[in-house]
Structure 1
């Protein structure tokens, strides 16, 4: 419920005080609001990384199978996605993203 129906009543001021407490405790107190916010932020970052990987592969003209596309878009590990993004500019095939780089001899 928002403040719209409260006009200039004491209820409006009470609601503002309650909401201020929620926001005051928002980062660092592991509130439900913070957990949902951070969860959504991480999901958004993962989607953005996946989109970037696919875009680089597409611009380079590499074929992207449905399996490769699904593996990239369903990954939620940001470190892995960052690695794939770095490698997407140099791999010869999209599938090569998933192979470990061999050490230089």
Structure 2
């Protein structure tokens, strides 16, 4: 019973959301690094500061095709 309560608790949801955000931030940067694209500190800081999952999803998708790390932020 306590476990089910915790799953529904707002704190548990916040922890899960923070985990998803951190995973997406790291994945976006990793994709660039795997592709051999240099990631300047300014790009790294901006990605790690972002807490909007939707925006991070867009950046992760752009990282797959980008030729420069700054392209993550195109049209913004």
Q: TM-score, normalised by structure 1?
A: 0.64
Runs of 4+ aligned residues of structure 1 deviating over 6 Å after TM superposition are none
| Partner residue in 1 for 2:66 | 91
| Root-mean-square deviation (Å) | 2.1
Q: 1:54 aligns with which of 20, 25, 29?
A: 29
* Uncovered stretches (5+) of structure 1, i.e. residues with no partner: 1-19, 28-33
* Uncovered stretches (5+) of structure 2, i.e. residues with no partner: none
- What is the number of equivalent residue pairs in this alignment? 76
* Greater Cα radius of gyration, structure 1 or 2: 1
Q: TM-score, normalised by structure 2?
A: 0.87
| Partner residue in 2 for 1:6 | none
**Bigger relative CO (Cα 8 Å, ≥ 6 apart):** 2
Aligned pairs for 1:1-105 within 5 A: 20=1, 23-24=4-5, 27=8, 34-100=9-75
